[in-house]
Structure 1
Amino acid sequence: MRYISTRGTAPILDFQAVTLTGLASDGGLYMPESWPTLSTEQIAKMRGMSYVDTAVEVMAPFVEGTLTRDDLRTLCTEAYGRFSHAAVTPLVQLDGTHWLLELFHGPTLAFKDVALQLLGLLFERFLSGTNKHLTVVGATSGDTGSAAIDALAGRAGVDVFMLHPKGRVSDVQRRQMTTVLAPNIHNIALEGASFDDCQALVKAMFNSRDFAGRFALSAVNSINWARLMAQVVYYFYAAVRLGAPERPVAFSVPTGNFGDVFAGYVAAKMGLPIAKLIVATNVNDILHRALSQGDYSQGTVIPTPAPSMDIQVSSNFERLLFDLGGRDGNALAAQMHGFEASKAMRLTNAQRDGGASLLHSDRIDLDDMALAMRWACDGTGQVIDPHTAIALAAARRAELGDMPIVTLATAHPAKFGDAVERATGMRPALPARIGDLFDREERYASLPGTFEAVTGYIAERAVPSA
């Protein structure tokens, strides 16, 4: 498998190189050169498979030429052995058509663990026996940071610098990052910043020849292809348990940076019969406006109780636009450069029409989010977090008849205890394995959100490239 950039001019890479690189040198995102497909028979055989075996079947085409199936199985067995549920990503039925796919049974209680536990092991394997030292730079609205830090803390050959918007992540999310005191972990709280500001700084560092040339930079955000690849697996795992490939299934996905829902798009391209992917946004609705009206225009971020969705620039949307636009890197580069300059963009007819049959978007406000949390609690006995509630509200508004609709439950409700308690009157408890979180020592740096301040801090602590 070979990987190409969405902007057309970066070198073509294999899976190992694309995993260690992250952002492409031309500012684009790496994608497989072509989509592998699985036959109806191959998908049907997944019904009785464990999560690890399903992961091997789904991911093997993407790592071809770099890892054998046995290599991949060994890595997946270790990665998912740390999850607290034997099914890894279990399905829970809410009523006759609605299901939750619980993605929060990993060590940091969020769906990011599914990918980042594997990514940490891939980094370690690919660096083993070399003198290469990675400087991982990431931005987080809460969950990516804690999952990446858990996966990479103490690993040889890797330093992690994680940026988060100060005061705009939950207390649990912050403490899951800042109480990890491993010497290779560096947390940076950016003052007066949004997640978009953090993400823009990370991209600027990758695009700075001076800074990027001094360090072997890599990414753990969903700009890293390996992260998205790992997330494709649970779409297959859930769908075959609800009747696929003979029966189509819909998914509703709480969406901010577009990585999780793009993984569903990849699953559909591989042959999984997904009837609809519901792109559920909160009031920061740039993706809803883009998909429903063709208007991808950046607004001001509005802080909400669902901070992972408080985003106005969705990095992975570029991958979708590239694929829907005929994979024309030059045209996509011009389109994205225009957006970066003006903060506004119109989707082409090909991009709008190409996604219309599969993608449906919705905008959920705070009242409807709270109503969904109460419905889940009172009607089904399930306590859900605000992000999951937004996707569930969108799923319940969709008119898909008796088709099964799977809402991705992306975080444990205890990570957002205040919001859950306001909506339901119940305060979810932290699982016992992190029950002492608020007693642990915190360590992080507060910095102004400027390129100079952040790169200066990193340069003083990172290991220069060989």
Structure 2
Amino acid sequence: MRYVSTRGEAAPRGFEDVLLAGLAEDGGLFMPESWPALTPEEWRSLRGLPYPELAARLIHRFVGDALTLDELRTLTGEAYAGFRHPAVVPLVQIGTNEFAMELFHGPTLAFKDMALQLLGRLFDHVLAKRGERITIVGATSGDTGSAAIEACRDRAAVDIVILHPEGRTSEVQRRQMTTVLSPNVANIAIQGSFDDCQDLVKAMFVDAPFRGEMRLAAVNSINWARIAAQIPYYAYAALNLGAPDREVAVSVPTGNFGNVLAAWAAKQMGLPIAKFVIGANRNDILARFLAANDMTARPVEPSLSPSMDIQVSSNFERLLFELLGRDPAATAAQMTAFRATGRMPVPDAAWREATKLFTGFTLDDAGTLAEIAHLYREVGYLADPHTAVATAGARALLFDARMPVIIAATAHPAKFPDAVERATGIRPPLPPALADLYAREERFTVLPNALADVEAQVRAHARRNTAEA
């Protein structure tokens, strides 16, 4: 398996190098040269497998000769052993044909654990084999940071620095990051939005001397390994609901477009996903694009669903690359125009192709609270604000009662207790392992939205740990 950049100027490479590189040197994102397709018989053979085994078999399709299937089985077994539910990804029926796919039973109560618990082990495996050390930098709108820190804390060959927008995550989200006091972990609160944090991370990767000096690696969904590790849970849910002999739909609350892109990737592999609902809050650039080909960035507005408070969805570039016939020059031109003007002039034919599969749905804060209340009142289900956007979108836009709808339940309600309590009168408690979270010591640095300041902080963190190693 080889990977190419969406912008065409970076050399093709194998899985190990893509894992460690994250972002391509030309600013593009890595994509498989071709999609590994499974026959209906092969899909059927995966039914009933334990989640770690299913994950190993599907992810191995993207690994090439970097790991054997047995090596990958060991890593997936370790990654999901500590999840609080024995199914790892349980399905909960919340409507006639609506199923919440609960992705929040990992250590940090969010779907990012599904990929990052494996990614941390993949880094360890490859770095040990190569005898190398890396510095991971990542941006988070709330959940990626804590999941990445939990996956990488105390690892011998990894330093990790996570940027989050100051004051724009929930308190639980922030504390899950900033109370991890492991020496290889550093947190930076950026005075700005998540898009600012993400731009800073991308700028560090594009700064070739700094990238080389720090041996930068990525944990955001710009890293293809993140996407590959998210594909299995859509397969697991769909197979449990009758695939490949029955079509399914998915509804996903969407921020950086990586989660729903993983579902789309599963479709490229032959999984019969007929429709994709992209849920958005007031930061609705993707919904506007699908409704009217309006890909225009607006200022980010804080909401009750902060992990979706994004206007520049990095993984959309991967879909755009496919919509443009895998033309890297055209993709690069579109992305350059977007960064320069804040508007992406997607060709009409490409936009129409996207609307055949994807539908956008927008829900404001009042609607989100109403949906949380509705779910609890009607079926006794406590949903976090992000999941509520997806459940409302599924009910509003998917009318085929015979087709099961897989709703990505992306976060435990206890991560957003204020919103859940406002909607239902119930304040969901944290699981026992996190019961003392509010009493733990925090450690983070506040910095302006300035690349030089951030690079200096990353350099100081990595150099200190390298000296101590």
Please give the range of the TM-score, normalised by the shorter of the 2 chains: over 0.9
User: What is residue 320 of structure 1 aligned with on the other side?
Assistant: 319
- Give me the whole-angstrom Cα distance separating, in 2, the residues matched to 1:130 and 1:245: 40
User: What is residue 72 of structure 2 aligned with on the other side?
Assistant: 72
User: What is residue 111 of structure 1 aligned with on the other side?
Assistant: 111
Q: Please, which moves more after superposition, 155-164 or 51-60? A: 51-60
SS at match of 1:113: helix
- Give me the whole-angstrom Cα distance separating, in 1, the residues matched to 2:87 and 2:247: 22
User: What is residue 370 of structure 1 aligned with on the other side?
Assistant: 369
- Give me the whole-angstrom Cα distance separating, in 2, the residues matched to 1:129 and 1:60: 18
SS at match of 1:368: helix
Are positions 1:348 and 2:347 aligned together? yes
- Give me the whole-angstrom Cα distance separating, in 2, the residues matched to 1:51 and 1:221: 23
Deviation of residue 326 (structure 1)?
Answer: 0.4
What is the number of residues matched between the two proteins? 465
Kindly indicate whether the alpha-carbon contact (under 8 Å) linking 1:133 and 1:463 is maintained by their aligned counterparts in 2: no
Are positions 1:170 and 2:152 aligned together? no
Kindly indicate whether the alpha-carbon contact (under 8 Å) linking 2:390 and 2:408 is maintained by their aligned counterparts in 1: yes
User: What is residue 304 of structure 1 aligned with on the other side?
Assistant: 303
Kindly indicate whether the alpha-carbon contact (under 8 Å) linking 1:138 and 1:219 is maintained by their aligned counterparts in 2: yes
SS at match of 1:47: coil
SS at match of 2:24: coil
Deviation of residue 345 (structure 1)?
Answer: 1.1
What runs of 5+ residues in structure 2 fail to find an aligned partner? none
Q: Give the AA of the match of 1:99.
A: F
User: What is residue 126 of structure 1 aligned with on the other side?
Assistant: 126
- Give me the whole-angstrom Cα distance separating, in 1, the residues matched to 2:427 and 2:112: 23
TM-score, L = length of structure 2: 0.97
Deviation of residue 404 (structure 1)?
Answer: 1.1
Deviation of residue 129 (structure 1)?
Answer: 4.2
Kindly indicate whether the alpha-carbon contact (under 8 Å) linking 2:304 and 2:385 is maintained by their aligned counterparts in 1: yes
Q: Please, which moves more after superposition, 362-371 or 199-208? A: 362-371
Deviation of residue 59 (structure 1)?
Answer: 1.2
Are positions 1:281 and 2:286 aligned together? no
Deviation of residue 452 (structure 1)?
Answer: 1.4
- Give me the whole-angstrom Cα distance separating, in 1, the residues matched to 2:244 and 2:208: 47
Deviation of residue 18 (structure 1)?
Answer: 0.3
Q: Give the AA of the match of 2:122.
A: L
User: What CA RMSD, in Å, does the superposition of the two structures yield over aligned residues?
Assistant: 1.3
Query: Percentage identity across aligned positions?
Result: 54
Q: Give the AA of the match of 1:379.
A: E
Deviation of residue 249 (structure 1)?
Answer: 0.6
Are positions 1:291 and 2:318 aligned together? no
- Give me the whole-angstrom Cα distance separating, in 2, the residues matched to 1:15 and 1:399: 37
User: What is residue 439 of structure 1 aligned with on the other side?
Assistant: 439
TM-score, L = length of structure 1: 0.98
What runs of 5+ residues in structure 1 fail to find an aligned partner? none
SS at match of 1:449: coil
Question: 1:312-353 deviations in whole A, cap 9, x for unaligned?
Answer: 100000000001110011111111111111111121123212
- Give me the whole-angstrom Cα distance separating, in 2, the residues matched to 1:349 and 1:65: 40
Q: Give the AA of the match of 2:385.
A: P
User: What is residue 219 of structure 1 aligned with on the other side?
Assistant: 218
Structure 1 moving runs of 4+ over 4 Å: none
Q: Please, which moves more after superposition, 3-12 or 201-210? A: 201-210
- Give me the whole-angstrom Cα distance separating, in 2, the residues matched to 1:86 and 1:320: 34
- Give me the whole-angstrom Cα distance separating, in 2, the residues matched to 1:407 and 1:61: 25
- Give me the whole-angstrom Cα distance separating, in 1, the residues matched to 2:226 and 2:275: 22
After superposition, where does 1:418-457 map in structure 2 within 5 Å? Answer: 418-457=418-457
Deviation of residue 453 (structure 1)?
Answer: 1.1
- Give me the whole-angstrom Cα distance separating, in 2, the residues matched to 1:332 and 1:256: 21
Are positions 1:38 and 2:38 aligned together? yes
Kindly indicate whether the alpha-carbon contact (under 8 Å) linking 2:53 and 2:77 is maintained by their aligned counterparts in 1: no
User: What is residue 11 of structure 2 aligned with on the other side?
Assistant: 11
User: What is residue 268 of structure 2 aligned with on the other side?
Assistant: 269
User: What is residue 52 of structure 2 aligned with on the other side?
Assistant: 52
Kindly indicate whether the alpha-carbon contact (under 8 Å) linking 2:4 and 2:13 is maintained by their aligned counterparts in 1: yes
Deviation of residue 212 (structure 1)?
Answer: 1.6
User: What is residue 135 of structure 1 aligned with on the other side?
Assistant: 135
Q: Please, which moves more after superposition, 443-452 or 181-190? A: 443-452
- Give me the whole-angstrom Cα distance separating, in 1, the residues matched to 2:161 and 2:260: 26
- Give me the whole-angstrom Cα distance separating, in 2, the residues matched to 1:422 and 1:415: 14
Kindly indicate whether the alpha-carbon contact (under 8 Å) linking 1:290 and 1:347 is maintained by their aligned counterparts in 2: no
SS at match of 1:305: coil
Kindly indicate whether the alpha-carbon contact (under 8 Å) linking 1:135 and 1:463 is maintained by their aligned counterparts in 2: no
